[in-house]
A and B are shown apart, each in its own frame.
Chain A
Amino acid sequence: MSNVAGKRYPAVETTLEPEHVRAFAEAIGADPDAGVPPTYAAVYALFSTAAQLYGDEDAAVDFQHLLHSEQEFSWTRHPEVGETVVAGGRVEEDVERRNLRFLTYATSVESAGEPLCTSRMVNVIRG
């Protein structure tokens, strides 16, 4: 396993498709007519770009032993249904403590060049 602290991944574009947003709202028990649920950020800010980290041979993330330990989102504003956003991710920290690997992944999301949302995820991977 190599340390990937500081590594950046190419930006990923996501269009917030109405049917997909609605299905997500229904799955979490939110009002499907109220627009984009805040934690739909899991889709447009997090997994869209974290998939690159998890698939990165250099990062060698043991997905089966990975737990999501902490999550933070902040919003300049919330996206609307149908909007297209761009997310770029960067490994903020990659450290080992007591046989656990702590991997912190930070994402910035923009829409039409303006900041929209940031995400910070801490993963713990059991050795």
Chain B
Amino acid sequence: MKEAQPYTWVVTREQIRAYAEASGDRNPIHLDDDAARAAGLPGVIAHGMLGMAQLANFVVGWTGDHRRLRRLRCRFSAMILPGDQITFSGRVAGEHDGLVELDLEAQNQKGERVLTKGLAEVSAS
């Protein structure tokens, strides 16, 4: 398999709002700074699933057709905030039963790991 294509994601409030609308997850911690602060957060945060969607974009850009993706997993380890620049990385961890296993992670601009325990399984053909 070829090397991963670098993938960087710049997080904006507009995209978080668009994701809330498109996904139906309108939890105010993603939309309203006051509500987010009332919940003990610094302000609005991105949906974990928006981060995972970027992880999927990264994997699909790397492996080609999304229909080959058999499994995708991650842990949301740190908050993703508007203005963050998130960089995705991955490596081939192994191959079994016709599946290529990828180890994945994402870091923010401070080097903090925001997505960990990332795993994808992609059918080899």
Contact = CB atoms under 8 A, between A and B. Distances in A.
A71 B74 contact: yes
A70 B117 contact: yes
Interface of B: 9, 15, 18-19, 21-25, 27-29, 35, 38-40, 47-50, 52-54, 56-57, 60, 66-67, 69-76, 117, 121
Contacts of B22: 20, 23-24, 26-28
A34 B25 CA distance: 23
B67 to A, nearest CB: 5
A11 B58 CA distance: 32
Given A35-B66, A70-B117, A77-B67, 19 more contacts: A20-B22, A23-B22, A26-B22, A27-B18, A28-B22, A28-B57, A29-B57, A30-B53, A42-B25, A42-B52, A64-B29, A64-B35, A64-B38, A67-B48, A68-B49, A69-B75, A70-B75, A71-B49, A74-B70
Contacts of A47: 23-25
Contacts of A24: 22-23
A107 to B, nearest CB: 14
A29 to B, nearest CB: 6
Interface of A: 20, 23-24, 26-30, 34-35, 37-39, 42-43, 46-47, 63-75, 77-78, 126
B56 A39 contact: yes
B15 to A, nearest CB: 7
Contacts of A68: 47-49, 76
